[in-house]
């Protein structure tokens, strides 16, 4: 355990078997060392000596090829007071509208249906369903965020979604036509319990839709910074299809989406429910097979790419600093903390990070303790280079920062391979 192992040991446990298939035959993929929690932003000026750190290691299950962290941090530590609020970005707003349309159109969900969302955060996604006159209910363990959502008219239970809470919801509200989980299924250790909850709460013709980062994209695009303690699992369609089949559920359809570096929206129904399985499900499983996701060599290749990228980024930043260039971080997303900590980039390299999230401003990044400032501070203290930590919004950000680029400002885009973007290369 970390430097203060005594107090943190009880916060994390090592996995004993694959959470999807029960196998214990693992390939070690990558070990990123002892790393602080990616959303563990700290108050400025305190002593940082007792900052907890946990091993950040990924293994691939040879039984079902689930990519998993070796250590599970207690979800109460991670999620009860959560600093991640859904980005108020155009990209996300558009995406949430699209998710609502996809679910409603593909599965003919009429107005008045019950839509339950797990990990509903501040309620933005459910608000899109509310616009379509659905009955909505959020379930999110972050008590502060659940209260914000409820205040804004999206009723939210401050709980973890589980077989128990699903049972209570059904008693009170009846069965759900749609259960949604966007970027939350990969955060959950006991996914069998979630599947049991879904079976209980979902109508016989209902749909469970989960959006998770796509492991194939992560591997092909070298998105190793999306590895952090909240992301316990990295899924491909094949792993999910096999998992749900073992739990009386069936993958019906999959949509491949661009958000968060490449994600899949996976639609699941009761095993014997009325919806057909679309051909895309098998097509994606075959594509995963062809891409080598069942082969050890793919994962060892990924580990090499991670190492090369870490070295290249550290070298590039070191050279720029040696030339006296001023660098700041653009965005303070959780994944930025994996990138900075595992590349050993800190306050010596980055003067500050800007972030639009007010809750993060004035704090320091976990691990590297780089101060987080507002975007307007960034405009007043314009760096020569911005390291684009929020690279998943690059298009939107380059558009927004046209003036910075036109004035000679540059971005370093770290993923998949570090490259410098100027006004003429930003598109
Ligand atoms: P996410 O990738 O997990 O949504 O996190 C993105 C972070 O980047 C979030 O903290 C908000 C921040 N951000 C900015 O600071 N400026 C921007 O223009 C965008 C789109 C995001
Ligand atoms: Zn497995």
* Residues in contact with 110: Cβ distance below 8 Å, sequence separation at least 6, in sequence order: none
Rounded CA separation 53/342 (Å): 12
d(CA 404, CA 194): 46
Question: Which of 243, 137, 112, 146 shows the shortest CA–CA distance to 190?
Answer: 243
Quote the ligand 1 centre to 178 CA distance (angstroms).
28
d(CA 394, CA 400): 10
Give me the torsion for CA of 279, 276, 109, 283, rounded to 10°.
Answer: -10
Residues 374/379/385/390 CA torsion (nearest 10 deg): 40
Evaluate whether 244 touches 268 at the Cβ level (below 8 Å): yes
Residues flanking ligand 1, CB < 6 Å: 87, 89, 331-334, 354-357, 390, 392-393, 396-397, 400
Residue of 183, 331, 372, 397 to test ligand 1 pocket, by largest number of atoms within 8 Å of CB = 331
392 Cα: distance to centroid of ligand 1 (angstroms): 8
Length of the chain equals 427
Nearest CA among 88, 390, 420 for reference residue 261? 390
Ordered mean pLDDT values, 10 residues apiece, the chain (427 residues)? 50 96 98 96 88 96 98 91 78 95 97 98 97 98 95 97 98 98 97 98 98 98 97 98 98 96 97 98 98 98 98 98 98 97 96 96 97 98 98 96 98 98 91
**Contact status, residue 211 vs residue 181, Cβ threshold 8 Å:** yes
In whole angstroms, how far apart are CA 160 and each of 126, 153, 181, 407?
17, 20, 12, 48
Judged by its nearest atom, the ligand closest to the C-alpha of residue 223 is 1
Nearest ligand 1 atom to alpha carbon 354: 15
Residue closest via CA to ligand 1's atom 8 equals: 331
Residues ≥6 apart with Cβ < 8 Å to 307: none
Instruction: Supply 52's token pair.
Output: 């907890």
**Spatial strand order in the sheet of 419-421:** 372-373, 353-354, 327-330, 385-388, 410-413, 419-421
58 phi, psi to nearest 5 deg: -115, 135
325 sits in the region (left: phi over 0; alpha: psi -120 to 50; else beta) called beta
**Rounded-to-integer distance, Cα 55 and Cα 270, Å:** 37
Predicted local distance difference test score (pLDDT) of residue 47: 84
Cα(355) to centroid(ligand 1), Å: 7
Which pLDDT score, from 0 to 100, does residue 8 have? Answer: 62
CA 394 to ligand 1 center in whole angstroms: 10
Positive or negative torsion for Cα 189, 191, 192, 197: positive
Q: Which ligand is nearest to the CA of 68?
A: 2
Closest CA to 180 of 239, 139, 234: 139
Burial-class residue 344 by CB neighbours within 10 Å (0-12, 13-18, 19+).
Answer: middle
Q: What is the number of the ligand 1 atom nearest to the C-alpha of 91?
A: 20
The residue whose C-alpha atom lies closest to atom 21 belonging to ligand 1 is: 331
Residues less than 5 Å from ion ligand 2, measured at CB: 18, 20-21, 23, 61, 63-64, 66
Ligand 1 centroid to residue 393 C-alpha, Å? 7
Residues 74 and 397: beta-carbon distance below 8 Å? no
């Amino acid at each position: 355990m970390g430097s203060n192992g005594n107090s943190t040991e009880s916060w994390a446990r090592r996995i004993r078997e694959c959470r999807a298939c029960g196998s214990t035959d693992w390939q070690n993929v990558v070990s990123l060392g002892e790393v602080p929690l990616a959303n563990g932003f700290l108050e400025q000026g305190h002593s940082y000596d007792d900052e907890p750190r946990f091993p950040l290691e990924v293994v691939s299950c040879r039984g079902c090829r689930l990519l998993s962290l070796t250590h599970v941090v207690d979800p109460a530590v991670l999620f009860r007071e959560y600093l991640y609020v859904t980005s108020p970005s155009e990209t996300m707003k558009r995406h949430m509208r699209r998710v609502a349309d996809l679910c409603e159109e593909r599965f003919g969900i009429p107005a008045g249906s019950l839509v339950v969302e797990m990990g509903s955060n501040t309620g933005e996604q459910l608000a899109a369903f509310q616009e379509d006159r659905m009955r909505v209910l959020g379930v999110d363990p972050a008590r502060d965020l659940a209260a914000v959502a409820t205040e804004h008219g999206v009723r939210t239970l401050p709980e973890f979604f589980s077989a128990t809470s699903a049972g209570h919801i059904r008693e009170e509200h009846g069965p759900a036509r749609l259960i949604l989980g966007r970027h939350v299924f990969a955060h959950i250790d006991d996914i069998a319990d979630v599947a049991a909850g879904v079976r209980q709460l979902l109508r016989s013709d209902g749909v469970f839709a989960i959006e998770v980062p796509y492991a194939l994209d992560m591997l092909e695009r070298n998105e190793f910074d999306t590895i952090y303690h909240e992301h316990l699992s990295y899924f491909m369609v094949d792993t999910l299809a096999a998992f749900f089949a073992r739990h009386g559920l069936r993958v019906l359809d999959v949509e491949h989406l661009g958000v968060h570096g490449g994600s899949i929206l996976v639609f699941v129904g009761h095993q014997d429910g009325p919806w057909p399985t679309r051909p895309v499900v098998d097509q994606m499983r075959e594509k995963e097979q062809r891409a080598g996701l069942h082969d050890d060599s793919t994962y060892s290749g990924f580990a090499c790419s991670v190492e090369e990228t870490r070295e290249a980024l550290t070298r590039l930043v070191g050279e720029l600093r040696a030339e006296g260039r001023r660098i700041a971080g653009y965005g303070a997303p959780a994944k930025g903390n994996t990138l900075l900590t595992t590349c050993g980039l800190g306050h010596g390299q980055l003067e500050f990070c800007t972030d639009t999230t007010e809750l993060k401003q004035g704090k320091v990044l976990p691990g590297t303790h780089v101060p987080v400032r507002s975007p307007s501070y960034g405009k007043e203290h314009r760096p020569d280079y911005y390291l684009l930590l929020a690279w998943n919004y690059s298009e939107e950000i380059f558009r927004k920062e046209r003036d910075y680029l036109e004035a000679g400002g540059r971005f370093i885009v770290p993923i998949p391979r570090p490259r410098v973007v100027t006004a003429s290369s930003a598109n």
